Amino acid sequence: MAAMIEARLLLVDDDPAHLEALAERLTGDGFEVTRAASGAEALERLDEAWPDLVILDLMMPEMDGQALAGRIKHRADIPILVLSAVATADNKADLIAQFAEDYVTKPYDYVELVARIRRVLRRLQDQIPVEELALGDLTLVPRMREAIVRGRHVSLSPTESRFLATLAASMPRAVTTEQLLRKVWADSDAADPAYVWVTVRRLRQKLEFDADDPQHLLTDPAGGYRLAAWELRRGTPESGT
């Protein structure tokens, strides 16, 4: 009987030695691994089949990891784990808020990397609720990872979806920065408050008419963040409301 495949991974790295060595180890641990040595090749592999998770190196020529991630997310909301030698907190926060599920700094411990891969896959299976939430002229559609703002559909990253779902679950109470780090970035080691600040900034740019005068995603005077206390309706909102 053939061994069960744990998950399908797309591994993208322009370093052939690292690409081959990591692919072999992941294959030995039960993953089905497709290799790509460039961003262009990775997009070709996506045309052939969608993986459960993309693991990509950030520093690549021609099309770097950030540009590739944007192209991937434009096609489908496939989870992404970034490998990078850049270790600054601001860079991690920006990348995680924008498109990545997790960020692993090179050099890394292989056992830790596999643990993070499995945690990301496990978390994505059941963390996003399926209910729609209507909050005034803002509707959250977690299962589609999108929001509808005054009739305009806005795509959300997985992190942004979890962030908003966490705030919605706590309405009308605020959620502190520390609580958000524990719930939204539970699987990221040494998560930094900058992760929260960057996510709030990006969400306000997406959801608010004026990001400098937010009406939906509010900073609570006592600390933390909350969604504005519009009348909360669950399920699919009626048209025209």
Please, which residues have CB within 8 angstroms of residue 241's CB and are 6 or more apart in sequence?
Answer: 134
pTM score, two decimals? Answer: 0.55
CATH architecture for the domain at 8-126 = 3-Layer(aba) Sandwich (3.40)
φ, ψ dihedrals at 239, nearest 5°: -65, 145
pLDDT tens track for 113-170: 999 998 888 776 555 555 678 888 889 887 677 899 989 999 887 788 888 988 888 8
Positive or negative torsion for Cα 4, 7, 8, 12: negative
* Per-residue model confidence (pLDDT) at position 62: 84
CATH number among 3.20.20.450, 1.10.10.10, 3.30.2350.10, 1.10.645.10, domain 133-234: 1.10.10.10
Query: Can you give the residue ranges of every domain in the chain?
Result: 8-126, 133-234
φ, ψ dihedrals at 186, nearest 5°: -60, -30
